[in-house]
Amino acid sequence: MNRAAHEREPADDELVRRARGGEPSAFVELVSRYQDRVYNTCYRMCHREADALDLTQATFLKALEALDRYEGRASFYTWLFRIAVNLAISDRRKKQRRREVSVDAPNHERRINDPPAPPAAEDGSHAAERSELQVRLAAALDQLDEEFRVAVVLKDIEDMDYATIAEILEVPVGTVKSRIHRARTTLRGLLTEHVENEDAD
């Protein structure tokens, strides 16, 4: 929640108010303020840059549509991330369902304990990771179930506190805590398993 950077700039709520009043530059400002963070989060949720871009656009479109109904109960930032996260999860499930229907290859029944899949460079994913370890970590992250992944992405990548994550995901703080812990232990397991497999080879 790096608000310090915006100290001299109008607060989010002020911009929302102005955007609702028909001032387009205010919404433009909100988009520029958050587009990178939303995009990065979406990328970590879907792991494809093209999809992440679509999701980010959809998020702001939704936000614009729903601006009249934003009540200010949550901060704009929380509200925006809730839109993004819900869209990302929903999109991923839609794609999974499509895959389940259309693909009957034996290896699509990958379980959480399987070693991370080798990065599929040709599909444009995994392009952002710079080192071998990062590639593995990103691939392992991609294997987590959505609810665990989103929790750990918001915590470790977006550096949000538990209360904010709880508000975005609409779950109790205790749930956030256990999901983050489970996500990290699962990631640890996936990474060490991979190393052990390599050692065995």
Total interface residues for another protein by CB under 8 A: 73
> Which residues contact residue 171 at a Cβ distance below 8 angstroms, ignoring those fewer than 6 apart?
179
**Cβ(16)–Cβ(79) below 8 Å:** no
CB of 155 to another protein, least distance (A): 7
The nearer residue to another protein, 69 or 111, going by C-beta atoms, is 69
The nearer residue to another protein, 6 or 22, going by C-beta atoms, is 22
CB of 65 to another protein, least distance (A): 5
The nearer residue to another protein, 68 or 106, going by C-beta atoms, is 68
Residues 159-188 contacting another protein, CB under 8 A? 159, 161-162, 170-172, 175, 177-178, 180-181, 184-185, 187-188
Residues 117-136 contacting another protein, CB under 8 A? 128-130, 133-134
CB of 171 to another protein, least distance (A): 5
Question: CA–CA distance from 67 to each of 33, 88, 121, 159, 181 (Å)?
Answer: 16, 20, 38, 26, 34
Residue with tokens 């499930």, as numbered in its chain: 93
Question: CA–CA distance from 192 to each of 23, 134, 152, 173, 182 (Å)?
Answer: 53, 14, 18, 29, 15
SS3 content of the chain, % helix, strand, coil (to 5): 75, 0, 25
The nearer residue to another protein, 62 or 194, going by C-beta atoms, is 62
Given phi > 0 = left and psi -120 to 50 = alpha, else beta, which region is 170? Answer: left
Interface residue with another protein among 9, 14, 23, 123 (CB under 8 A) is 23
Segment lying near another protein (by CB under 8 A), choices 15-23, 100-108, 111-119, 193-201: 15-23
The nearer residue to another protein, 118 or 172, going by C-beta atoms, is 172
Residues 61-100 contacting another protein, CB under 8 A? 61-70, 79, 82-83, 86-87, 89-91, 93-94, 97
Would you call 179 helix, strand, or coil by DSSP? Answer: helix
